[in-house]
Chains A and B, each alone.
Chain A
Amino acid sequence: MIKVEGLTKRYARNVAVDHISFEVEKGQIVGFLGPNGAGKTTTMRMLTCFMPPTEGSATVAGFDVRENPMEVKRRIGYLPESPPVYPEMEVIEYLEFVGRIKGVPKASLKSRIDEVMQKTAISDVRNKEIGKLSKGYRQRVGLAQAIVHNPDVLILDEPTSGLDPHQIIETRDLIKGLSGDHTIILSTHILPEVEAMCQRVMIINKGKLVATDTMENLSSRLHGAETVAVEVLSRDGTSSPEWVRSVQEKLEKVAGVSRVLAKEAKDSNDSRARFTVESQTGSHVRPELARAVVEAGWQLNELHGMGLSLEEIFLELTASSYKEKSEPAPQAAAEEAK
């Protein structure tokens, strides 16, 4: 449905998007994951024909964004980061306007708007001014706007940013519900969001595509090794460097643990010892860690798995791809040793 090859956007001083290539099949939901400023919005803007690429090509439903922008625009529904609504308009009036400029035939416009309002659950505010709606409602009006002409492809730029948790869940469900009829690309910088909605994920950093994989593969890659935070209290409420060292040694002996890092105490009166424990792939160390601490007679104050932050994922992914590339390194290292 969407085919992108070597897509590049260069500004005078920097490269926003650097030779990105990917393909999206019909009916898929694909997540575009990356930190702010990674080039997600720029890529989306090139796909929606808002701006032309400097290099490379992108085709949507068989039409090139450069040669046939009109046909592409007709087949894309786009929700920019802030919903492009006119605050002084009423909801129904706004959807009518968008339907008209998107080329919905006049005869079916009314029924189409009713359908879309039902899908996005905004029928109850149809005659309200958009400027007076809550943020969640406004986001849904934005979504309604994107699907009013029943496009093949939906492009959503951070559809849940700025919403409260309840609204986020609503919006996610709504987007999932739309996936049957549309191919969807959505961008986000929140990892759980991709996990909740997407079948495939593309990770983009500094304008480059770092990884593209199915959600299952990616999570197994990421969750193979676990990092656990442990906080231990000594029996008598005092703490000494010797004691901390003994706790560290005890934790290191637990099966499956690969590394234990002690954290600096905040002040000398602190009776807590904090550690970051890294485990080997495939081992479940948390119960064992708890047992080890309790059996030694200390108090276990805290024990929790630390999810990988987006930054860590990037580090991990870029590091692993770097390793793969520099596979035939031993020889060079041997030479260096000489």
Chain B
Amino acid sequence: MNTWTIARKELSSYFRSPIAYGVMCFFALIVGFFFFSAVRFFLQQSLQATMMGQSVPLNVNEWVVRNVLNNMSVVGLFIIPMITMRLFAEEKRTGTIELLVTSPLRDSEIILGKWLAAFILYLTILAVTAINMLVLFAYGNPDWRPMAVGYLGLILQGGCLLSIGTFISATTRNQIVAGVATFGVCLLLWVLDWVSQFDSSKLFSVISYLSVTSHFESFMRGVLDSKDAIYYLSVIVFGLFMTSRAMESIRWRA
């Protein structure tokens, strides 16, 4: 109940500032471009395949959907910091955090409410890109199941990066610092799995396991793997737990 009150307040401030529209517009444009180029490439390839006498038509899911989803997961790294950077930093700067902390609210309600608002905004942004996929249904015959799994992966990946961003925002009173730091961490979590490409020792496979993108691959291929889902869920919980620690420190040091 209180969680929802906080979430509603955050959402209304997102949609009252240009942030929400800016991010949504930027994401829709870029994903639209990826989609357009993926479809063009797919058309060219399938034309060639038909000319070469291949009887089985190329798979839309494989050629278009997977490509676009993969790109979306990378672009997601760029928009997450923009969503989370103001969550706590702004309240700490203007002093409204004092209002929240001295109200009969639990820390968990404040944190969950804020994360939830960021998550809902992220879902809205994803929903806008679904228009592209609907176009595929209008003109082709793609399988909706791997597509749904792919979106689920995007949702989980976003949720876990959002929770990390929420934590970082709670550690500073400067939005820009929060944004840049979150971007840095997101980027790092993205490239971590590159190490496993040239070395498969224990250490490197552990490092690679921590990467958010390595867990996205199975979702992208349309495979729902509980191992990866658990990774994402545990990072979400961990990030929110760290946020509650950070809030505790606001109290002790303020």
A binding-site residues for B, Cβ under 8 Å: 45, 48-52, 70, 73-74, 76, 78, 80-82, 84-89, 93, 97-98, 100-103, 145
In whole angstroms, what is the CA distance A145 to B98 when docked?
A: 13
Residues of A within 8 A of B9 (CB): 86, 89, 97
Q: Does B2 contact A (CB under 8 A)?
A: yes
**By the criterion CB–CB under 8 Å, are B251 and A73 in contact?**
no
Q: Which of A45, A49, A88, A101 contacts B16 (CB 8 A)?
A: A88
Residues of B within 8 A of A70 (CB): 104
**By the criterion CB–CB under 8 Å, are B13 and A51 in contact?**
no
In whole angstroms, what is the CA distance A103 to B94 when docked?
A: 23
A101 nearest CB neighbor, chain B only: B103
B100 nearest CB neighbor, chain A only: A101
Q: Does B200 contact A (CB under 8 A)?
A: no
In whole angstroms, what is the CA distance A87 to B90 when docked?
A: 11
Q: Does B29 contact A (CB under 8 A)?
A: no
**By the criterion CB–CB under 8 Å, are A100 and B98 in contact?**
no
Cβ proximity bits B68-97 to A, threshold 8 Å, 1 near / 0 not? 000000000000000000000000001111
User: Can you list the 5 inter-chain pairs with the closest CB atoms, starting with the nearest?
Assistant: A84-B99, A73-B104, A84-B96, A48-B102, A101-B103
B binding-site residues for A, Cβ under 8 Å: 2, 5-6, 9, 12-13, 16-17, 94-105, 251-252, 254
In whole angstroms, what is the CA distance A37 to B48 when docked?
A: 78
Residues of B within 8 A of A93 (CB): 12
Residues of A within 8 A of B100 (CB): 101
A76 nearest CB neighbor, chain B only: B102
Q: Nearest Cβ distance between residue A130 and chain B, in whole angstroms?
A: 11
Residues of B within 8 A of A103 (CB): 104
Q: Which of A49, A81, A86, A97 contacts B5 (CB 8 A)?
A: A97
20 CB-based A-B contacts, threshold 8 Å: A48-B102, A49-B101, A49-B102, A50-B254, A51-B254, A74-B104, A80-B95, A80-B99, A82-B94, A84-B94, A84-B97, A84-B98, A86-B13, A98-B99, A100-B2, A101-B2, A101-B103, A101-B104, A101-B105, A102-B103
Check A100/B5 contact, CB under 8 A, given A84-B96, A86-B13.
yes
**Chain B interface, >50% SS class:** helix
Q: Nearest Cβ distance between residue B197 and chain A, in whole angstroms?
A: 46
B6 nearest CB neighbor, chain A only: A101
Residues of B within 8 A of A50 (CB): 98, 101-102, 251, 254
Residues of B within 8 A of A102 (CB): 103-104
Q: Nearest Cβ distance between residue B6 and chain A, in whole angstroms?
A: 7
**By the criterion CB–CB under 8 Å, are A51 and B99 in contact?**
no
B2 nearest CB neighbor, chain A only: A101
In whole angstroms, what is the CA distance A48 to B105 when docked?
A: 13
Residues of A within 8 A of B254 (CB): 45, 50-51
In whole angstroms, what is the CA distance A130 to B190 when docked?
A: 41
In whole angstroms, what is the CA distance A48 to B251 when docked?
A: 12
In whole angstroms, what is the CA distance A51 to B2 when docked?
A: 21
Q: Nearest Cβ distance between residue B244 and chain A, in whole angstroms?
A: 15
Check A86/B105 contact, CB under 8 A, given A52-B251, A101-B6.
no
**By the criterion CB–CB under 8 Å, are B251 and A51 in contact?**
yes
In whole angstroms, what is the CA distance A8 to B94 when docked?
A: 27
**By the criterion CB–CB under 8 Å, are A101 and B13 in contact?**
no
In whole angstroms, what is the CA distance A65 to B156 when docked?
A: 39
B252 nearest CB neighbor, chain A only: A51
Residues of B within 8 A of A76 (CB): 102
Residues of B within 8 A of A81 (CB): 95
A49 nearest CB neighbor, chain B only: B102
In whole angstroms, what is the CA distance A104 to B102 when docked?
A: 15
Residues of B within 8 A of A101 (CB): 2, 5-6, 100, 103-105
**By the criterion CB–CB under 8 Å, are B104 and A78 in contact?**
no
Residues of B within 8 A of A98 (CB): 99, 103
Q: Nearest Cβ distance between residue A21 and chain B, in whole angstroms?
A: 22
Residues of B within 8 A of A88 (CB): 13, 16-17
Check A145/B17 contact, CB under 8 A, given A50-B254, A74-B104.
no
Residues of A within 8 A of B96 (CB): 84-86
**By the criterion CB–CB under 8 Å, are A78 and B17 in contact?**
no
In whole angstroms, what is the CA distance A102 to B1 when docked?
A: 12
